[in-house]
């Protein structure tokens, strides 16, 4: 017998879909005590929320998130709304004793993130942030290989997240579809949107970052604002590059931009260790490139591991070896781990505190770029 876990989802956009899909499918592929029930979805437009609820199988609709948070029949609030709404919703949900899953970045900045951490820790409610790339099997395998010591001492961690969708200067900022270009809704540009993913993965794989030296650029300085109709200054960073030093002594080199013509979502990382190197690429997410210097010289070279075998992370729950899975499965894995954490009492990561540490790196990057100097990352 499975125990129902009533989900209240706020926002029905990109992430509202990705999460709803994960709740709907997780119990078909993972043996778990808990079963998510799509209880209610919240969005400001009743018609759109109703249409979404009908399509995805939600039982009810709310148009005000406060009402959703107050409902007695909701166990878990899932925050799938723009960044400037995360803190207020999460703090109210914690006070109401709800479990909380929050989209990334956790907050608009570190100070706001800390208030969210304090709220969930005070209320002792299970919480997690959707840094889903940790659960791409090839990325999880990277963690396994590092933890087994296969790379030895790590010298370099290099990550990029490249897109090209904001190059057109006529693209407006703000409003429903373009809140990412509006600093008031997003907090920052590519730093909080794209680098946040790279940093979460990096802290998980390679430990904390001590200091950073960053440069950001806003290539298009003014855009029409969808909410005011006026041409306004653009407050987000279009591109961000930083170098830094990890606590383990390895060197960090990171880049993210929405101005890399030809790249849509090219998230890559490469880690160079004393014995071995690893390279991963989101456009080819089921493959892990691995080079091991300890191989016999005549056959030494980069291996392309197709991460689809039954003993690869998560893959035993899916199809037969050789058949790959995709982007949406990383969310299914994250829900599965969260539910398993409820079952075992060993919470799935990243929780709010873990995501707050990423937020502190984001703050340090933005401060370094503003002040044109090295910045020490605060400890979380
Ligand atoms: N984990 C990931 O890889 C990933 C990918 C994309 C987005 N995100 C994050 O997810 C969040 C949402 O992004 P998205 O791409 O799904 O955005 P989106 O624009 O597709 O959807 C946002 C939704 O929030 C709703 N909304 C906005 N304000 C609201 C309010 N006050 N009350 C109720 N609903 C409200 C909108 O109507 C819409 O349904 C952001 O924090 C973003 O950074 C994470």
pLDDT digits (tens, 9 = 90+) for 3-40: 999 999 999 999 999 999 999 999 999 999 999 999 99
- Supply the mean pLDDT for the chain: 98
pLDDT at 300: 98
Task: State phi, psi for 286 to the nearest 5 degrees.
Answer: -90, 0
- Parallel, antiparallel, or unpaired: how do β-strands 375-376 and 209-217 relate? antiparallel
C-alpha span between 255 and 245 (Å, rounded): 15
C-alpha span between 304 and 288 (Å, rounded): 6
* pLDDT tier at 1, thresholds 50, 70, 90: confident
Residue bearing the CA closest to ligand 1, atom 28:
81
C-beta pairs of 90-97 under 8 Å, 24+ apart in sequence: 90/116, 90/119, 90/120, 90/127, 90/352, 91/115, 91/116, 91/119, 92/65, 92/66, 93/69, 93/125, 94/119, 94/120, 94/122, 94/123, 94/125, 94/127, 95/119, 95/123, 96/69, 96/70, 97/123, 97/125
Mutate to test the pocket of ligand 1, among 15, 22, 165, 176 (most ligand atoms within 8 A of CB): 15
pLDDT digits (tens, 9 = 90+) for 180-196: 999 999 999 999 999 99
Whether 94 shows a pLDDT value over 90: the answer reads yes
pLDDT at 348: 98
Whether residue 245 contacts residue 154, with contact meaning beta carbons closer than 8 Å, is answered with no
For 173, which DSSP code? B
Give residue 278 CA to ligand 1 midpoint distance, Å: 32
Q: Biggest alpha carbon distance in the chain?
A: 66
Mean pLDDT, rounded, for 186-211: 98
Q: Is the CB of 44 under 6 A from ligand 1?
A: yes
First-last CA distance in the chain: 40
Q: Is the CB of 11 under 6 A from ligand 1?
A: yes
pLDDT digits (tens, 9 = 90+) for 337-375: 999 999 999 999 999 999 999 999 999 999 999 999 999
Whether 249 shows a pLDDT value over 90: the answer reads yes
Helix (H/G/I), strand (E/B), else coil: 357: helix
pLDDT at 109: 98
């Amino acid at each position: 017998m499975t125990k129902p876990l009533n989900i209240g989802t706020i926002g029905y956009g990109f992430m509202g879909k990705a999460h709803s899909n994960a709740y709907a499918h997780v119990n078909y592929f993972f043996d778990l005590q808990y079963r998510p029930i799509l209880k209610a979805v919240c969005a400001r437009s009743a018609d759109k929320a109703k249409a979404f609820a009908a399509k995805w199988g939600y039982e009810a609709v709310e148009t005000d998130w406060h009402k959703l948070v107050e409902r007695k029949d909701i166990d878990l609030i899932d925050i799938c709304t723009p960044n400037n709404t995360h803190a207020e919703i999460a703090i109210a949900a914690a006070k109401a004793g709800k479990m909380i899953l929050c989209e990334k970045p956790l907050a608009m900045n570190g100070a706001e993130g800390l208030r969210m951490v304090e709220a969930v820790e005070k209320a002792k409610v299970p919480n997690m942030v959707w840094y889903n790339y940790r659960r791409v099997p090839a990325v999880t395998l990277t963690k396994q290989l590092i933890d087994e010591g296969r790379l030895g001492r790590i010298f370099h961690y290099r990550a990029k997240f490249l897109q090209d969708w904001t190059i057109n200067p006529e693209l407006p900022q703000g409003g429903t579809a373009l809140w990412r270009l509006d600093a008031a809704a997003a907090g920052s540009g590519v730093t909080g949107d794209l680098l946040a993913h790279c940093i979460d993965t990096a802290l998980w794989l390679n430990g904390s970052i001590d200091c950073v030296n960053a440069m950001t650029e806003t290539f298009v300085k003014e855009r029409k604002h969808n909410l005011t109709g006026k041409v306004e200054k653009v407050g987000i960073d279009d591109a961000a590059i930083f170098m830094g030093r990890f606590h383990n002594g390895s060197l960090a080199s990171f880049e993210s931009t929405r101005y890399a013509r030809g790249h849509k979502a090219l998230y890559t990382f490469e880690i160079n260790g004393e014995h071995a190197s690893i390279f991963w690429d989101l456009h080819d997410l089921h493959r892990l490139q691995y080079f091991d210097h300890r191989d016999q010289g005549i056959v030494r070279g980069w291996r392309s591991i197709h991460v689809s075998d039954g003993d690869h992370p998560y893959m035993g729950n899916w199809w037969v070896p050789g058949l790959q899975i995709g982007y949406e499965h990383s969310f299914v894995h994250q829900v599965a781990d969260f539910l398993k954490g409820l079952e075992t009492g060993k919470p799935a990561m990243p929780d709010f505190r873990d995501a707050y540490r990423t937020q502190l790196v984001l703050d340090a990057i933005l401060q370094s770029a503003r002040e044109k100097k090295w910045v020490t990352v605060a400890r979380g």
